[in-house]
Amino acid sequence: MTQSPADDAPRRVLILDFDGVVVNTEEVHFESWREAFRQQLGVRLPGDYTQVVGLTLDELFEMWRPLAPVPLTIDLRRRLLAAKTDLFFTVGEGRFKPISGVADLVRDAQRQGWYAAIASRGRRLRLLRTLELARVPAVFELILALEDAVDPKTDRKVHARAAWALGAEPAACVVVEDSLSGIADALDSGIGRVIGLTTSFDATALRQAGAHEVISRLDEVRLPSLAVPYGNNGGGA
């Protein structure tokens, strides 16, 4: 776990998105939704997982509304979500793998005095079970999930809340995200350095979304020394 920094050093947190940054689950999510729509409505969802990465439930159902043969009522949405949730671990059986280098990145950050957190809009039980199946070591000081949100439908400050929960200012933290909406949320939260990881989108799309830096592997992350002043212009590599 984290080594204590000097008393006058700012507390800093390395904040990781879950899906696509800690565990490679994005394709499983989409395939689970596709099967749920097939079972419940006889509809095959077009496209691939990149269309759904980072979207809220409301955004997903709005995108798929024209494809449904009947109105997507609140009750039907609940049924579809329940079906998708039930299918997730069946579809993903044997497929959950940690993103290469995630445990080493977290341990290295902690040796440098950083804290490490997961910030996700996924449900806690799903996150914990996926971490277990992917055999990701218990190295994080904090896991923020959907249940921790003030209002799950409107709360887009998950990265800032992760920083505050560990006693840090958002501007002193680093976020690694793979989704365009996640990058936008991190920037809106005032995170000092936002890194895009190319597991779901290419480098151009991540830069256009506002990422300060784009990487293809987690071992490319370079965290600044705790002694270096840090802010919105970054101090990383």
pTM, whole model, 2 decimals? 0.85
CATH class of the structural domain 13-24+96-220: alpha beta
- pLDDT tens digits for 167-202? 999 999 999 999 999 999 999 999 999 999 999 899
- pLDDT tens digits for 114-167? 999 999 988 999 999 999 999 999 999 999 998 887 765 566 789 999 999 999
Task: Please give the Cα distance from 154 to 45 (Å, whole number).
Answer: 26
Share of the chain above pLDDT 70, in %: 89
| pLDDT tier for residue 235 given thresholds of 50, 70 and 90 | very low
The beta strand positions in the chain, using DSSP E, are 13-16, 115-119, 142-144, 174-177, 193-197, 213-215
Q: Where are the domains of the chain?
A: 13-24+96-220, 26-91
Under 8 Å between Cβ of 16 and 129: no
Q: Is 206 exposed, middle or buried (0-12, 13-18, 19+ CB in 10 A)?
A: buried
Task: Please give the Cα distance from 167 to 88 (Å, whole number).
Answer: 34
Task: Please give the Cα distance from 186 to 193 (Å, whole number).
Answer: 9
